[in-house]
Amino acid sequence: MELTWRNVCGRRLRRHGLTPPLAHGGPAAAAGAMCGAHAQVLSAAEVSIGLRLSGATRTDVLDALWSDHSLVKTFGPRGTVHLLPAADLARWCGALGGLTAGSRFAADVRVTAEQTEELVTAIGVILADAELTVDELTEALGDRVGSWAVDPVVPAFQTKWPRWRQMTEIAAHRGVLCFGPNRGRKVTYTNPARWLPGFTPAPHADAMDWLLGRYLHAYGPATPQQFARWLATTPGWARRLFENSELTEVSLEGARAWVADGDTEFGDPAQGVVLLPHFDAFAVGSQPRELLFPGRAWDRALARGQAGNYPVLLVDGVVAGVWHQKKTGRTVAITVEPFGELTARQHKQLDEQAQRIGTVIEARPTLAIGTITVGAHA
């Protein structure tokens, strides 16, 4: 099949619940549609999920996270904090927990394979009936495992963290750690089995087949190199996975890419205007990046080639501007900087997007067109 970028973007936008919003399933369905909502900044994840649902607010997302536990805040792909559907957590952990990666820490800091198993087991037991801050978990691990586990040796932000902190991603991917609700300004961790009785990670091979299928459904067509980048694993491993999976080769703007067998319906090309917040999964995960960020967008909407650092304006499936929001009380001022002229129809759609963002963050929006002067992450 010969595919155009606009056709591919049209399918991705529909499958992400961006055009149109998802009709059923609530916040968990929205997080699942994009293969996890990036939640290093939780307020951005609230907008990412809310935009994919009709009439949803940030309160709906927080209720799904902390009340009915249909969402779980944990370490997802690339070791970054994500909101994942609780119903999929066993397969996420089965897939991510079976990936191997070398330690990025110096020899006198890293833990051995035996120490890793001891720490993961201890973390699971300690958190089985508790929500603990980092300091509380550090104290409990020191008592249970020994002083070596809590020695302050991990370099972090001009200080040193206790040795066990290098285990947070691994413990999460093994299914014994996730985030609990913040206690004031302090993060807490807990064991997901508290909320999901009988929870255990799925077998790795089955879980990885599932994850590849979910990725290709949301982001396909894709290449092994793009999948490897999305997971932060090696291209060689991803290539072997593609070779051993039932996939169909297509051509995207003349380049080879793959979709799941039988998943070759693409429909109408991308149309319309969409505002995406910081770190939205569509902007971070969609490849090839040079097609999503054409022309001026490459320099203006990326941070040294990294997507997600700026909220972006999509027009007909490509990044065509950046935007910024400033909330004051019950009002949010939204400023959009398009990289080109917008039609009257696009201005109307932009106003509708601003209204939707106001609904999500529970504030009355105002919209202005102007130059964005703040930097990345602002």
DSSP secondary structure of 251-307: EETTEEEEEETT-----SPP-SEEEE-TT-HHHHH-S-HHHHS-THHHHHS-BTTBS
If residue 210 lies in a helix (H) or strand (E), which one and from where to where? Answer: helix 204-219
Q: What distance in Å separates the CA atoms of residue 249 and residue 278, rounded to the nearest whole number?
A: 32
CA 2 to mean position of chain CA atoms = 29
**pLDDT for position 366:** 98
How much is the average pLDDT of 67-80? 97
- C-alpha to C-alpha distance for 118 and 104, rounded to whole angstroms: 20
Give the tokens for residue 43.
Answer: 């307020």
Q: Is the pLDDT of residue 25 over 60?
A: yes
Structural domains in the chain, CATH included, are 273-369 (3.40.630)
Query: What is the C-alpha separation between 223 and 78, in angstroms, rounded?
Result: 17
Are 293 and 310 in contact by the 8 Å Cβ rule? The answer is no
> Could you give phi then psi for residue 66, rounded to 5 degrees?
-110, -15
Global pTM value: 0.96
Distance, CA of 342 to CA of 42 (rounded, Å): 31
What pLDDT score does 32 carry? Answer: 98
Predicted pLDDT at 378: 56
- pLDDT class of 261 with cuts at 50, 70, 90: very high
